[in-house]
Amino acid sequence: MNFEQLKPQVKSIVSNVEKTIDERLLSICELLENHIEYYNWVGFYFKNGDKEELKLGPYVGAPTDHTIIPFGKGICGQVAVSNENFVVPDVAAQENYITCSITVKSEIVIPIFINGKNIGQIDIDSHVADPFTEADERFLEFVCTEVAKLLS
């Protein structure tokens, strides 16, 4: 299934008021992980109150010990500070990478904005080296825009 085919499904999940916000976020994770072959771990991190850290939200994939990530640490922590997309084609070549699993070869992190403020991000790990393209970035920006609607 391609990105354009997934967009209406993302919108449908977001608009389903029968489910809680966390259930909808988890459904988005499941949708992406199930339909995009190289998305092997999909999850959300959100700013943890007034703290300069991220807290793990709903996700699918291997369990992680990284439930709290300080701003600036790892790829997610860097995106919390830079407010910019971060694509890592090869995690082994990244100095500030937090190792989650030896199977992870690449990562993409896209921030979520509400009223211009970075409130969290979607984080995707892949077991494939360098799979993420500009099309992934645009699609995940769309997903983050939809998630922002859900959270605002």
Mean pLDDT computed over 15-24: 97
pLDDT at 24: 98
Tell me the helices (H) and strands (E) count for the chain, helix number first.
4, 6
pLDDT at 133: 97
> In a 3-state reduction of DSSP, which class is residue 40?
coil
Task: State the alpha helices, DSSP H only, in the chain.
Answer: 3-15, 21-35, 74-82, 134-151
Mean pLDDT computed over 17-28: 98
pLDDT at 100: 66
> What pLDDT, in 10s, does the model give residues 69-111?
999 999 999 999 999 999 999 988 877 666 667 789 999 999 9
d(CA 112, CA 80): 10
Question: Right CATH number for 3-151 from 3.40.50.300, 2.60.40.1930, 3.30.450.40, 3.40.50.720?
Answer: 3.30.450.40
Mean pLDDT computed over 41-69: 96
The domain spans of the chain are: 3-151
| Order of all β-strands in the sheet with 68-70 | 68-70, 53-60, 41-47, 117-126, 106-114, 86-88
> What pLDDT, in 10s, does the model give residues 100-143?
677 899 999 999 999 999 999 999 999 999 999 999 999 999 99
